[in-house]
Structure 1
Amino acid sequence: WIGMASSVMYYWIVVTIFLSCSSDCVSSEIELGSRLLASKDQVWVSDNGTFAIGFTPSDTDNRFFTFGIWFASLPGDRTFVWSPNRNSPTSREAILELDTTGNLVLIDKKVTIWASNTSNVNVESATMSESGNFILHNTNNHPIWQSFSQPSNTLLPNQPLTVSSELTSSKSSSHGGYYALKMLQQPTSLSLALTYNLPESYQTFDENESYANYSYWQGPEISNVTGEVIAVLDQAGSFGIVYGNSSDGAVYVYKNDNDDAGLASAIHQSTPLTVLRRLTLEENGNLRLYRWEDVNGSKQWVSQWAAVSNPCDIGGICGNGVCKLDKTKTNASCTCLPGTSKVGRDGQCYENSSLVGKCTNRKNENNTSNFRISTVQQTNYYFSESSIIANYSESDVSSVSKCGDACLSDCDCVASVYGLNEERPFCWVLRSLSFGGFEDTSSTLFVKVRANSSWTPEGQGRSNNSSSDGMGSAKEKAVIIPIVLGMIVLIILLSMLLYYSVHRKRTLKREMESSLVLSGAPVNFTYRALQIRTSNFSQLLGTGGFGSVYKGSLGDGTLVAVKKLDKILPHGEKEFITEVNTIGSMHHMNLVRLCGFCSEGPQRCVLFYLQFHCENSNFIALTGLSNVCFADF
């Protein structure tokens, strides 16, 4: 039942592809004069619907299209396995045409972007095969041109990679460099190698020298080889080199434990694929083998093998910056050197005018006083043999600083590296840093920069997380300035609110006091004024249940009795003043008249006019505020 269900699902996918394509899909033989339009999402599909060739909108901008081959049997996934215009997307006006001369041409706005160059060589038709190979046939059905012979960044099962061909990654958006998988030939041996390649526009310092690529990974070597040599991925998922006149020799780069047929069985086969696999050279320089699998109910590409486990082992992954691993040893970040800055979305580092690059004939240009050495600790660099100016041994370099001096005195030197090899010191003087650096606790890098340059190594006083120093500073300002301004505005508003509240309270109090004075009510005294009028409450007249009474005088000499209330009344200040006002307006022959009060903080005092017959402590408290005085008879 499981096998039947799988078969039903497979044929349902194939039927879905053909129904969705409608008249825009063509399978089997493709005749001369046929064309595909990017604007109509037209494709040519293999007989069983496994592969399709056509246009796909860009992932980042649907105004642009890429032409190529992908697995049509994987709904929602258009990962390219071959494309001739990965680095130059087309517009919606693009057309792919197998013209009447037999030439397969990609045209965008009447400009030829790519062509198979097969005009007038008897091409009769084309086929999108079930193996993923797009083939141009002659009248005898013999292949004249095929996509398998011009790979881009992916090998499919049974697709040969010859000595004359190579896989190439997409070019870097910031500098144009790229990675390649190819056969690296030595005088007596051969091996597969991954290389980092500088762009064609890269200028070497000597026209007779070439150091535009660096090999950072090599597979097993084979020696004294005769006959054809082919790298191949077989259907069981093993990858390696097949060689010999009868292809009977094989060296595995990666072997699947379930591979019983061997690599040689993959040569010149084009059988349908039962398991979908691809070997892809990624833009980050790693070579990975993928298999389409079910992961927790979700179909996706799963990595089965990678050529490089440490990303910092890949040359140029940070441009000419330094690669640093995180604590997990799986993820890398880039740190730029003095005289360089980060460029592009990939955050790689490249030269600016501060980094010294070559000797010149300008006057005083090569004077050592115009330059200085910036030291970067625990750092080493990748370099090719042709980028070495000199290699000083122990006898030539007695100290670390002399390695820096060796670079400073050589006008061609960009940097020098000091380190230890089996406890013996060495000093490499280099004319290029283009292949990138890595952390190395036993090495020190000396970078030559112009004397007036203010550059210092990232991570030594400056952050290395921003895309560039200028951009990082701008981003920080864009965040900090609004926050600071907002805080200033908030402080001003709170200050205004506090001032208004205090001012309002004081105004109300003054208004209340003024209203009392105008109405003949008792006057409000400050506690400090009462201290002065009573000589700091020094003349005690008497005490009562609510407090003590002290003798004092007003400014005009009028004698008063000041009563300090010890028991604070439970009502508030407003009620206290209102009660004082009420009592002050009362007149009785036996009631001493109230002339003032004090309500300041916790202090509560009342003032009475002192009569001659009340000076001998004859105050009798009837209430907390009023007092009666009996004359002495």
Structure 2
Amino acid sequence: MANAPFFSSFLLLIFLVVAGFDDCIASQIGLGSRLVAKENRAWVSDNGTFAFGFTQLDDKRDQLQIAIWFAELPGDRTVVWSANRNSAVSNNAILELDTTGSLVLFDRDNTIWSSNTSNAGVQGADMSESGNFILYNADNRPVWQSFSYPSDTLLPNQPLSVSLELTTSKSPSHGGYYALKMLQQPTSLTLALTYNMPESYDDWPELYSNYSYWNAPDISNVTGDVVAVLDEAGSFGIVYGNSSDGAAYIYKNDDDNGGLTAPSRQSTRLSVLRRLSLETNGNLRLYRWDDDVNGSRQWVPEWAAVQKPCDIAGICGNGICSLDKSKTSASCTCLPGTAKVGPNNQCSDNSSLTKNCDSRHGNKTSQFRISMVQQTNYYYSGFSVIANYSDIQTVSKCGDACLADCECVASVYGFEDENPYCWVLRSLDFGGYEDPGSTLFVKVRPNDTASEGNRGRSGDSSDGSGSKKILVIPIVLSMSVLIGLLCLLLYYNVHRKRTLKRAMESSLILSGAPMSFSYRDLQIRTWNFSQLLGTGTHQTVTEDFFYPGWAFKEMTKGNPTKVADRRLEGAVVEEELMRALKVAFWCIQDEVFMRPTMGEVVRMLEGSVDHINMPPMPQTVLELIEEGLDHVYKAMKREFNHFSSFTINSHPSTHATCSYSTMSPR
């Protein structure tokens, strides 16, 4: 009996634990159960896949919503359903399944949301493994379920019938929202993505207050239910017919081998978690949870309805969408006459939206002007169109047509099948996009300036002239400074090269060493060959300083080292120098047949030839020595003058013949 108190305490502990977790087990949600926001508790499905409870709205701690999310994903609380995403509650909120069978959300005694199922026979609730939160009656039949009131996400086996739609939360900047729903035509149905106008446009007919920018294939002439479904294999499409035997794929998963299936009511955990979400940017995207993406666990996109962001109407409100070079990211600019204001950078209403017709429906043209936005088109509904002129052949005339109509706020000029069109519009609601073949004309007041984002695209001359002048002045100044810097750099380089050249020339001149002159040097130093080199205060240059003759004499005397450059300081091999001198004088012989071939020159310089004969004095060198440099300079002057006065029209060729002679280098 000693263990009796312990056993009783253990049973009491189990009872308290079960009672404490009564609201955390979905299969035991009874009437009177409640969730308190401050307690951070939730009703969880049997296997812990989904949870139902309070969670933060847009990552704001002080704003909460009642939602369903994936409970078992680490670090991820992706919401798949919400009851009050447009009406956040505080930490004082309470969700209760009251005794009448209605699920009610309170916040400080204010009813925020209700399932409206009082006295409908509700006996309990269940958070199922399919992600569907269900209120059951005594016969275990659904009285209310979250699948019948979808938010922005479609889960596997969740039907989206003709009467249902996925919707995003309202945009905080422009108030519009996106929807995925069935659009009914006279003889067909089509699943479409639409951009819907803000609540201020609720008095408009539905046809005029939304714009469809993406459509699935039409379903024509069918009987029975038409349901869009994401099946268990990960394929998305439409199932139709009395027995749901008809199917049309919108996206087919590669692993889907069984065909598109109708929604089932089974509440079992799927092997792969998927969700089809309508995102706040207007795109419909299919995600799959992957437990190993480069070592991490995350949602991986498998399919998207729209590939380019600017193909989505309203993505910039009523502004203009522009793609970047990658065609995957977009930026927004406001229409002419508007500007981004407020904390959300929302574009202000266009001035032309105000009434511009007088009591007689007359035009007040003088109060407005036209601002042109080049390479831009616009999304518009049928209600927005006042007229379509197909006989306007010039772009500017389309702008004039809008200015002449008091109801017009904008017009669009472009081509369709090479035929021009000019749509005159009474409203700008669904946004614009880049289109190289179109031009948008917007009516604005004379004192309105183009918005900051549109200054680069606007073609209005009155606003553009001042900005062009402001831009031209700094450009001209910048170019002038750049040209000046380039000129200084060029002068510095030329001056530096000349200085280096003079320094090198002066450093290479040694006392007593032979000097070489180019033809240009001789011409400059002799005043165009009018003076002898070396006359004046210095001694006249003699034949000893005529290098070829002097070198030949030293070679024949057996003193080849005197010919070498003094800067070598005698570091030469006399035998090699003598061999080089002999080869050099053999190569400048006047008679061609006396000159060695290149092969012979190489062998002689390499030392392969045992003995090289002493060459004779070349006749040209001998004549230069005998006649004196005075005659040389005069002859060079005559040759220069002759070359400057006449044009050579032909180039006689020299035909050299080779013959054997007793005079040979070998």
TM class by smaller structure: 0.5 to 0.7
Give a deviation string over 1:519-562, Cα, whole Å, max 9, x none. Answer: xxxxxxxxxxxxxxxxxxxxxxxxxxxxxxxxxxxxxxxxxxxx
C-alpha contact 2:321 2:331 (8 A) present in aligned 1:
yes
Q: Which residue of 1 aligns with 2:560?
A: none
Aligned-partner residue type, residue 248 of structure 2: V
Gapped regions of structure 1 (runs ≥ 5): 1-17, 464-633
1:239-388 alignment runs, 5 A limit:
239-293=236-290, 294-342=292-340, 347=345, 349-352=347-350, 354-361=351-358, 366-388=363-385
Q: Which residue of 1 aligns with 2:434?
A: 439
Partner-residue secondary structure (3-state), 2:61? coil
Partner-residue secondary structure (3-state), 1:63? strand
Greater strand content = 1
What is the rounded CA distance, in whole Å, between the counterparts of 2:229 and 2:75 in structure 1? 28
Q: Which residue of 2 aligns with 1:160?
A: 159
Deviation at 1:344, TM superposition (A): 6.3
Deviation at 1:88, TM superposition (A): 1.6
Q: State percent identity of aligned pairs.
A: 68
Q: Which residue of 2 aligns with 1:448?
A: 443
C-alpha contact 1:387 1:430 (8 A) present in aligned 2:
yes
Length, aligned pairs only: 440
What is the rounded CA distance, in whole Å, between the counterparts of 2:117 and 2:272 in structure 1? 33
Give a deviation string over 1:327-380, Cα, whole Å, max 9, x none. Answer: 00100001111122235676553414x233444546999410001000111100
Give a deviation string over 1:73-129, Cα, whole Å, max 9, x none. Answer: 112211110001112211001111111111111111111111111111111111000
Q: Which residue of 2 aligns with 1:484?
A: none
Give a deviation string over 1:217-246, Cα, whole Å, max 9, x none. Answer: 001111101101110001111000000000
Q: Which residue of 2 aligns with 1:411?
A: 406
C-alpha contact 1:357 1:413 (8 A) present in aligned 2:
no
What is the rounded CA distance, in whole Å, between the counterparts of 2:318 and 2:342 in structure 1? 14
Identify the match of residue 421 of structure 2 among 426, 430, 440: 426
| 2:128 pairs with 1:133 | no
Partner-residue secondary structure (3-state), 1:324? strand
| 2:177 pairs with 1:178 | yes
Q: 1:364 to 1:258 in 2, by over 3 A?
A: closer
Gapped regions of structure 2 (runs ≥ 5): 1-16, 459-666
What is the rounded CA distance, in whole Å, between the counterparts of 1:382 and 1:82 in structure 2? 31
What is the rounded CA distance, in whole Å, between the counterparts of 2:342 and 2:22 in structure 1? 42
C-alpha contact 1:238 1:263 (8 A) present in aligned 2:
yes
| 2:386 pairs with 1:389 | yes
C-alpha contact 2:26 2:128 (8 A) present in aligned 1:
no
Give a deviation string over 1:570-605, Cα, whole Å, max 9, x none. Answer: xxxxxxxxxxxxxxxxxxxxxxxxxxxxxxxxxxxx
Q: Which residue of 1 aligns with 2:28?
A: 29
C-alpha contact 1:337 1:457 (8 A) present in aligned 2:
no
Q: Which residue of 2 aligns with 1:540?
A: none
Aligned-partner residue type, residue 273 of structure 2: L
Q: Which residue of 1 aligns with 2:523?
A: none
Q: 1:459 to 1:186 in 2, by over 3 A?
A: same
What is the rounded CA distance, in whole Å, between the counterparts of 1:92 and 1:365 in structure 2? 57
CA RMSD of aligned residues (A): 2.3
Partner-residue secondary structure (3-state), 1:407? helix
Greater helix content = 2
Q: Which residue of 2 aligns with 1:535?
A: none
| 2:59 pairs with 1:56 | no
Moved over 6 A (4+): 362-365
Partner-residue secondary structure (3-state), 1:141? coil
C-alpha contact 1:356 1:449 (8 A) present in aligned 2:
no
What is the rounded CA distance, in whole Å, between the counterparts of 1:211 and 1:229 in structure 2? 25
Deviation at 1:189, TM superposition (A): 1.1
Deviation at 1:460, TM superposition (A): 2.7
What is the rounded CA distance, in whole Å, between the counterparts of 1:402 and 1:123 in structure 2? 67
Identify the match of residue 216 of structure 1 among 210, 213, 216: 213
What is the rounded CA distance, in whole Å, between the counterparts of 2:343 and 2:279 in structure 1? 16
Partner-residue secondary structure (3-state), 1:369? helix
Q: 1:268 to 1:22 in 2, by over 3 A?
A: closer
C-alpha contact 1:237 1:256 (8 A) present in aligned 2:
yes
What is the rounded CA distance, in whole Å, between the counterparts of 2:338 and 2:438 in structure 1? 20
Partner-residue secondary structure (3-state), 1:215? strand
Q: Which residue of 1 aligns with 2:492?
A: none
What is the rounded CA distance, in whole Å, between the counterparts of 1:56 and 1:139 in structure 2? 30
Give a deviation string over 1:459-486, Cα, whole Å, max 9, x none. Answer: 43599xxxxxxxxxxxxxxxxxxxxxxx
Give me the TM-score of the superposition, normalised by structure 2: 0.63
1:201-212 alignment runs, 5 A limit:
201-202=200-201, 211-212=208-209
Q: 1:231 to 1:78 in 2, by over 3 A?
A: same
Deviation at 1:53, TM superposition (A): 0.2
What is the rounded CA distance, in whole Å, between the counterparts of 1:208 and 1:264 in structure 2? 35
Q: 1:340 to 1:417 in 2, by over 3 A?
A: same
Partner-residue secondary structure (3-state), 1:458? helix
